[in-house]
Amino acid sequence: MMSNMDAYGGLLKPGERIDELQRNNYKIIQNTEKFCFGMDAVLLSGFARVHLDETVLDLGTGTGIIPILLEAKTQGKRFCGLEIQQESVDMARRSVILNKLEDKIDIVEGDIKEASILFGTASFDVVTCNPPYMNHNHGIINPDSAKAIARHEILCTLEDIIRETARVLKPNGRLYMVHRPFRLVDIINTCSKYKLEAKRMRFVYPYIDKEPNMVLIECVKGGGRNLIINAPLIVYKEPGVYTDEIIEIYSDTML
């Protein structure tokens, strides 16, 4: 019997698995002992708007889930993922090869703090980011370095992300970010500091009677100060049962 590793031409390494994305027959390589993508990445890819022939940079791309989903569901011209962790870069690149997307998606190994040096200023129409949510004042730092870097501001801060986003975006370019509501004041203030104005926002609630635990934000470089708050997004009707809108988002994003 052919092994999973042999079936994919040696693209799969020990400890890894291939997950079906159920869209365009795309797949993604992940390692459950490291860090797998979650709902926040799916919701961000559904919230982001990428128009015909636009270029997109995903900061801290991890294993490349957001560029792969955006390539599948939009008419963007070129997608790039920037990631500092070599192991994640390697998995993301192999997922690009697995899906035969080498002509559409680039995975670059590098530091978010140097994005404008790596790519040049005013070089992208859209930036997406699912950043580390916690700074040094929040939460217990995971002893596993890969998960710690993904969840805590160890290698870059919120300001690093927003500063470099402002530099690499073209005039009127757009930032799409998913974050935690408790960081919202920091996010809006820091974006304004770098002339990125919040234009659209949506809060995500685990249940209708609970506080929001995620916020989706669209900012425009050089945009005016008129903000639209979209209707609340509720995840669960009851434990283990998604709302119709979450099912629709997953269907639109991943089917």
Q: Tell me, what CATH number does 48's domain have?
A: 3.40.50.150
**pTM for this model (two decimals):** 0.89
Res 155: pLDDT = 67
The confidence score (pLDDT) of residue 81 equals: 98
Residue 147 maps to a domain: yes
pLDDT in tens, 140-171: 444 455 554 444 345 689 999 999 999 999 99
pLDDT score, position 152: 38
- Say how many domains are in the chain: 1
Q: Which domain does 231 fall in, by range?
A: 13-254
Evaluate whether residue 136 is within a structural domain.
yes
CB burial class (10 A; 0-12, 13-18, 19+) of residue 42?
buried
Q: Please check whether residue 7 lies inside any domain of the structure.
A: no
Q: Is residue 5 part of a domain?
A: no
Residues of the chain with pLDDT under 70: 1-9, 133-155, 254-255
Q: Are β-strands 196-205 and 169-179 bridged in parallel, bridged antiparallel, or unpaired?
A: unpaired
Residue 2 in domain:
no
Report pLDDT for 10: 72
In a domain, 1, yes or no: no
Q: What is the pLDDT of residue 33?
A: 85
Question: Has residue 134 been placed in a domain?
Answer: yes
Any domain includes 6: no
